[in-house]
Structure 1
């Protein structure tokens, strides 16, 4: 069965000012909640941890060590 990019997570390389697509897809998975984040809605990530977050609150929680 073939999967299209809407069913496949993307692999990204996170940088300080944006991200690069290493493997095409439609979404990434939040490192904390497991929620799918459409690429066009992705606003929060960690360069050091190379992971995405669904919201500012989740990013703050994760990066402050309260997870």
Structure 2
């Protein structure tokens, strides 16, 4: 099972402020959703996000796909 296949913890979706090198939880929850795939990402597993677009990604591939769609990759 990979990170995008894990089920979120039985908690609501979190609201997160994505900063440079760290993120801050604004509204507590157990997970956020990948902006590209829609897959739930447990906060403990969150590694990829965009500060500019304030969105999370389930994998480096998802982040790269987002950049390409925006004409930056």
TM-score (norm 1): 0.85
Q: Residues 1-67 of structure 1: matches in 2 within 5 Å?
A: 6-65=10-69
| CA RMSD of superposed structures (Å) | 1.4
Distance, in Å, in 1 between the alignment partners of 2:39 and 2:70 is 19
Q: CA–CA distance in 2 between the matches of 1:40 and 1:46?
A: 17
Tell me the TM-score normalized by structure 2: 0.78
Structure 1 moving runs of 4+ over 6 Å: none
- Higher normalized helix content (fraction of residues): 2
Shift of 1:49: 0.2
Stretches of structure 1 lacking an aligned partner (at least 5 in a row): none
Of 57-66 and 10-19, more deviation after overlay is shown by: 57-66
Q: Which runs of 5+ in 2 are unaligned?
A: 1-8
